[in-house]
Amino acid sequence: MVCNFLYRIGLILLLIYPLSSYTASIQGTLTLSESEQLAINNSPELHQIEANAHALEEEAVAKGQFSDPQLIVGAANVPTNSFSFTQDDMTMINVGLQQAFPRGRSLTAKSKQTKALAKGQQRKWQEQEAMLLRNVRETWLDLYYWIGARKVIHENRFLYKQLLKAAESQYSANKGNQSDVLQVQVELSRLNDQIAQIEQRIDVLRAQLGRWIGMDNASRSLPHILPHWPKPLPFDLMKSKLQQHPLLKVDDANIEASRAEVAYAKEQYKPGWMLDVGYSVRQGRMANGQSRSNFVGAQATVDLPIFPGNRQNRELEASFLRLEAAQLDQAAHYKDLLKELDSQYAIWRSLSKRVNLYRSQLIPEAKQNAKAATLAYQNAAIDLTTVLRAYSNELVIRLERLQIQVERTKTRAALLYLEGIT
């Protein structure tokens, strides 16, 4: 009976280890690169930012133009006793044009401000694309982990079912005790509960991924290998390139827009003016029989900004404060990015060491421990509980290795975001 039990264990291990190598065909699977492309193509947020950028570009041109001239048409000095246009000499019909000219170069400043805001939207698109890819990558990798975890738990459950049969056989032959059977049954129930929890996590992650790529695509199977990216750049080089991050480029555009706002506020100290030209037609004839002459006129209206204390001065001060706020916003963003770079790079180094440790030591040691436990059980040196613990420990270590591999890949995705790579 013991020999049959050991033969079954050996057969199970031969079946499990090839399964854990993840060599299944990836035909029809949802790769990470495909998920990224689908997310970019289907993102309403990116399309919205693109539309805003185009709108601001059009608006920048419009804000650099003079206001439309105004046509003035009217009648003047019409006598109320007859409403005749020929009775009095001063009765006339007026036609004129009026054009306003803004203060100084305020139109240029306003146009520059809007162009800077348009540039900010373009750079925001790049930043949002990088953030979207990071979110998609992390969600895809989380889904990959839990699908892999479910596979490991299923393998563990398959092993325990075989152990349960062996324990029941030995108990029936009076070579074992009932506690061994009950213990294996409890472990199987726990594994079933773990699988149910994992299925719930998988459903939640598929729903999250479906937000970006659609549920039909999110429901597809994943490949059995992790994506591979080049190793990150040296830390000092990444730190020096951090200034080129899309988020800081957005801040650059906002600062440029704030500077244009300051320039606009300074132009408000200069006078604006308005030009009127008109032509007046008189009807009827004078006493000597000659036609009454027509009139032409022109006038200019000029602003007098001689009381700037509560308007121009305060508007200028407000624009300076908004410029300072934009600069401080950029400084805060840089500190946040630098802090994340420090932490993510440290995590990357630590996880890389742990991956090597699991590959070179923990996995081989766990396998050796399971084989040794089997041999000891064969020689009646240990009980079934110890064998169960040894094989369970081996599968747990495999699960931990998968988790570390996925976490390291997620950390690399975070570093790609910090590098501004899409």
Lowest mean pLDDT among 129-138, 181-190, 210-219, 268-277: 181-190
- Mean pLDDT value across residues 174-182: 73
Where exactly are the structural domains of the chain?
Answer: 2-66+101-270+284-419
pLDDT beyond 50 at 104: yes
pLDDT beyond 60 at 307: yes
Instruction: Write down the pLDDT at residue 155.
Output: 85
Instruction: Write down the pLDDT at residue 118.
Output: 97
pLDDT beyond 80 at 15: no
Instruction: Write down the pLDDT at residue 176.
Output: 65
Q: Pick the residue with more confidence: 321 or 4?
A: 321
Give the length of the chain: 422
pLDDT in tens, 225-257: 999 899 999 999 999 999 999 999 999 999 999
Contact assessment for residue 163 and residue 181, using Cβ atoms and an 8 Å cutoff: no
pLDDT beyond 50 at 1: no
- Rounded to whole angstroms, the Cα distance separating 182 from 188 reads 10
User: Taking the alpha carbons of 152, 158, 160, 166 in that order, is the dihedral positive or negative?
Assistant: negative
Helix, strand, coil % over all residues of the chain, rounded to 5: 70, 10, 25
Instruction: Write down the pLDDT at residue 255.
Output: 98
Distances (CA, A) of 79 to 89, 152, 293: 10, 103, 19
Contact assessment for residue 154 and residue 395, using Cβ atoms and an 8 Å cutoff: no
- Mean pLDDT value across residues 303-318: 93
Q: Element (H or E) spanning 71, and its range?
A: strand 70-76
Distances (CA, A) of 254 to 45, 133, 325, 358: 20, 24, 10, 48
Distances (CA, A) of 149 to 92, 134, 196, 304, 400: 93, 22, 12, 77, 9
Contact assessment for residue 378 and residue 6, using Cβ atoms and an 8 Å cutoff: yes
pTM: 0.82
Confidence of residue 378 (pLDDT cuts 50, 70, 90): low
Q: Pick the residue with more confidence: 260 or 22?
A: 260
- Long-range contact list for 366-370, CB < 8 A, 24+ apart? 366/393, 366/394, 366/397, 366/398, 367/394, 369/393, 369/394, 370/13, 370/394
Class of the domain covering 2-66+101-270+284-419: mainly alpha
pLDDT beyond 90 at 47: yes
- For the chain, the C-alpha Rg in angstroms (whole number) is 40
Which segments within 257-324 are labelled E, that is strand? 273-281, 295-302
Residue type, 229: W
Q: Element (H or E) spanning 94, and its range?
A: strand 92-101
Contact assessment for residue 275 and residue 98, using Cβ atoms and an 8 Å cutoff: yes
Instruction: Write down the pLDDT at residue 343.
Output: 97
Contact assessment for residue 140 and residue 35, using Cβ atoms and an 8 Å cutoff: yes
- Rounded to whole angstroms, the Cα distance separating 397 from 362 reads 7
Confidence of residue 265 (pLDDT cuts 50, 70, 90): very high
| Bridge partners of residue 75, in order along the sequence | 93
Q: Give the helix ranges, DSSP H, for 214-288.
A: 215-218, 235-241, 246-267
Contact assessment for residue 390 and residue 368, using Cβ atoms and an 8 Å cutoff: no
Q: What is the mean pLDDT of the chain?
A: 88
Lowest mean pLDDT among 67-81, 93-107, 133-147, 362-376: 362-376
- Rounded to whole angstroms, the Cα distance separating 363 from 393 reads 10
Confidence of residue 330 (pLDDT cuts 50, 70, 90): very high
